Chains A and B, each alone.
Chain A
Amino acid sequence: MLLAVTINEGPYQHQASDSAYLFCRAALEKGHEIRRVFFYNDGVNNASSLTEPPLDDRNIVNRWSKLAADHKIDLVVCVAAALRRGIRDENLAAGFRISGLGQLVEAGIEADRLVTFGD
């Protein structure tokens, strides 16, 4: 199945990004394809390269970068939501790109299922 995912909450504060990550990994293991993960609302904070959690904790941002590189997943951050929250190209983590909400709509149209992780 062709899947797309959207994440609407920031890392660490909320479980949305953790759950989405575990869901993506499980889906990929089952042989599904994840074309795009779209970050909206506070979800854009998952893309900040300035994120520096304590060393004994998971690094949510790097984890997304690695998953995207390993499985060719398009990580898209909404430009309007990102600018509101100080996420720009200068502090964008590897594997993410900033684009418009059209990318979310397109993912909804093209994927068999669009799965939302939010509050």
Chain B
Amino acid sequence: MSEGTIKKFMFVNRKAPYGTVYALEALEVVLITAAFDQDVSLVFMDDGVFQLKKGQQTKGIENKNFSPTYRALDGYDIEKLYVEEEALATRGLSEDDLLVDVTVMSRADLGKLMEGQDVVLTF
């Protein structure tokens, strides 16, 4: 029934990568959605911007470092990554601190982008 239908799926990542499971399990949905050939975009806002921070070291907390997966998104044709400008600034981060190429966007512009989506899933 859904054969051929392409919808705009936006994943909004708001949480730090470790401490809760949201970031990891969000990535799993992102990859499956891409496998369904949908129009996928990712937004990183609030503490979610830490998910893309370079140089993550997780040995000490005995968690798997899943940050390399963000670099692999390209291979799944997931190229629309948006990062909230204000969230970076508030946390003393800049685009150079991130491990993938992103589009930095103001909170207001992200809001406009969200309006155009069919499905928004927040983690």
Please say whether chains A and B are actual partners in one complex. Answer: yes
Is residue A94 within 8 Å, beta carbon to beta carbon, of the partner chain?
A: no
B interface SS class: mixed
Total interface residues on A, CB under 8 Å, equals 19
Q: Is the CB of B21 within 8 A of A105?
A: no
Q: Is the CB of B121 within 8 A of A81?
A: no
Q: Is the CB of A109 within 8 A of B7?
A: yes
Total interface residues on B, CB under 8 Å, equals 21
Is residue A87 within 8 Å, beta carbon to beta carbon, of the partner chain?
A: no
Contact with B along A49-68 (1 / 0, CB 8 A): 00000000000000000000
Among the listed B22, B28, B118, B119, which residue makes an inter-chain contact with A101, where contact means beta carbons less than 8 Å apart? Answer: B28
A114 CA to B9 CA in the complex, in Å?
A: 11
Which of chain A's residues has its CB closest to B5's CB?
Answer: A109
A78 → B minimal CB distance (Å): 8
Of residues 3 through 37 on chain B, the ones whose CB sits less than 8 Å from some CB of chain A are: 5, 7, 9, 21-22, 25, 28-29, 32-33, 35-36
A104 with B29, Cβ < 8 A, contacts A6-B121, A110-B2, A114-B119 known = yes
